[in-house]
């Protein structure tokens, strides 16, 4: 499996408030970004996997809506998260 429990815990520790903070916007965006990167690599070699393509588009939309939410609540956290995850914008 590409995302083990230890990797998730490290993600949540780095971007959340603690290693068990799985619900904050920052940690959810980090988790979505990891999954998006994995699905993008999968689709590079499996071009006709349309169900994965649909799942990728749904994840991108979820991440976008969380980023918009964070931008409205706290612009500094938004900018820090964008920079830490190396997202365009």
Instruction: Examine residue 16 and state whether it is found in any structural domain, yes or no.
Output: no
Distances (CA, A) of 79 to 23, 31, 35, 41, 86: 19, 17, 21, 26, 10
- For position 67, which CATH number holds? 1.10.287.10
The residue range of the domain holding 38 is 25-85
Judge whether residue 20 has pLDDT over 70: yes
Residue 15 lies in a domain: no
Q: Which pTM was predicted?
A: 0.90
Residue 8 inside a domain? The answer is no
Query: What average pLDDT score do residues 32-47 get?
Result: 96
pLDDT of residue 86: 93
Flag whether pLDDT at 17 surpasses 90.
no
Flag whether 3 is in a domain: no
The model's pLDDT over 55-85, given as tens digits with 9 standing for 90+, comes to 999 999 999 999 999 999 999 999 999 999 9
Number of compact structural domains in the chain: 1
Structural domain includes residue 10: no
Residue 18 in any domain: the answer is no
């Amino acid at each position: 499996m590409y995302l083990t429990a230890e990797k998730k815990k490290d993600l949540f520790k780095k971007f959340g408030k603690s290693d068990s903070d799985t619900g904050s916007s920052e940690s959810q965006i980090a988790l979505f970004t990891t999954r998006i990167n994995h699905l993008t690599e999968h689709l590079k070699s499996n071009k006709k996997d349309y169900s994965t393509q649909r799942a990728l588009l749904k994840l991108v939309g979820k991440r976008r809506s969380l980023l918009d939410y964070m931008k409205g609540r706290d612009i500094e956290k938004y900018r820090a998260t964008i920079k830490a995850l190396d997202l365009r914008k």
